[in-house]
């Protein structure tokens, strides 16, 4: 299975990347029992110039094209953005603006965000979840927000594990081989149906009516 992580953190080191790494490790740990997991991280800060050029010339650069292909081919996505002005970052939104509108249809996605204050946690529900619902992705129920005070505090590890378990379940469900159904013998079914029918001649039906 292929798990792709999209991180929109700008600084180095980045709390956004730290949260992305913890989510990907937890998800890979949940899926490893059933299948090997190939994890790829897409750092959007390295693609900022190519994303801007794509808007002006309509063509992705080499690195951006590779990132878009990875996201499209992924069995599951983890997307993490820092909060700016009570919403996702412009770089984060720009990346998903240049991706093919149908690329995320039916794809399991775990949404997450980081911010300086817990007051911005609703960005997950009023910004990120609607965005990926619009793109027809399957967004896991548990979203993860990490404020500055959440690191090392109780609650964040539990939310990470719960969200990771939900994403892993969806990924394993999509990758499970389907059991082919047994071929249907329509000819045999038709013969059986005919054998169960009792045909009464029309003359006999009229005679029965006359006798009443």
pTM above 0.85, yes or no: no
What pLDDT is recorded for position 200? 64
CA distance 26 to 172: 14
pLDDT in tens, 53-101: 999 998 999 999 999 999 999 999 999 999 998 899 999 999 999 999 8
Q: Which two tokens stand for residue 212?
A: 């009443």
Closest to 115 in 3D by CA, of 5, 12, 19: 19
Count of beta carbons in the 10 Å neighbourhood of residue 87: 17
What pLDDT is recorded for position 113? 97
Q: Which two tokens stand for residue 156?
A: 């964040």
What pLDDT is recorded for position 173? 80
What is the DSSP pairing of strand 87-88 with strand 2-7? unpaired
Coil, helix or strand for 60?
coil
CA distance 185 to 189: 6
Coil, helix or strand for 152?
coil
Count of beta carbons in the 10 Å neighbourhood of residue 208: 10
CA distance 80 to 21: 10
pLDDT confidence bin for 33, thresholds 50/70/90: low
**Structural contact between residues 15 and 149, judged by C-beta atoms closer than 8 angstroms:** no
- Using CA atoms of 10, 15, 77, 81 in order, give the dihedral in degrees to the nearest 10: -50
What pLDDT is recorded for position 72? 96
What pLDDT is recorded for position 12? 85
Residue 139 per-residue DSSP state? E
pLDDT in tens, 187-207: 555 555 454 556 666 666 666
pLDDT in tens, 143-191: 999 998 889 878 999 999 999 999 999 998 865 554 454 554 555 555 5
Q: Which single residue is written with the structure tokens 């991180």?
A: 7
pLDDT in tens, 116-152: 888 889 999 999 999 999 999 999 999 999 998 889 8
Helix axes 48-57, 62-73, angle to 10 degrees: 90
pLDDT higher than threshold 80 for residue 17: yes
pLDDT in tens, 58-71: 899 999 999 999 99
């Amino acid at each position: 299975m292929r798990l792709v992580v999209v991180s929109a953190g700008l600084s180095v080191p980045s709390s956004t990347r730290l949260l992305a790494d913890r989510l990907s490790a937890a998800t890979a740990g949940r899926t490893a029992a059933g299948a090997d997991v190939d994890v790829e991280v897409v750092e959007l800060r390295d693609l900022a110039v190519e994303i801007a050029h794509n808007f002006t010339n309509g063509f992705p650069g080499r690195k951006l094209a590779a990132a878009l292909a990875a996201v499209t081919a992924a069995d599951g996505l983890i997307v993490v953005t820092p909060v700016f002005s009570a919403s996702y970052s412009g770089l984060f939104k720009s990346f998903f603006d240049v991706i093919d509108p149908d690329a995320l249809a039916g794809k399991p996605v775990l949404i997450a965000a980081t911010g300086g204050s817990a007051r911005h946690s609703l960005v997950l529900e009023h910004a990120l979840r609607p965005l990926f619902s619009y793109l027809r992705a399957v967004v896991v129920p548990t979203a993860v927000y990490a404020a500055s005070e959440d690191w090392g505090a109780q609650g964040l590890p539990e939310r990470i594990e719960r969200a990771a378990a939900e994403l892993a379940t969806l990924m394993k469900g999509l990758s499970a081989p389907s059991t082919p159904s047994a071929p249907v013998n329509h000819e045999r079914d038709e013969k059986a149906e005919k054998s169960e029918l009792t045909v009464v001649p029309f003359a006999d039906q009229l005679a029965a009516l006359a006798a009443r």
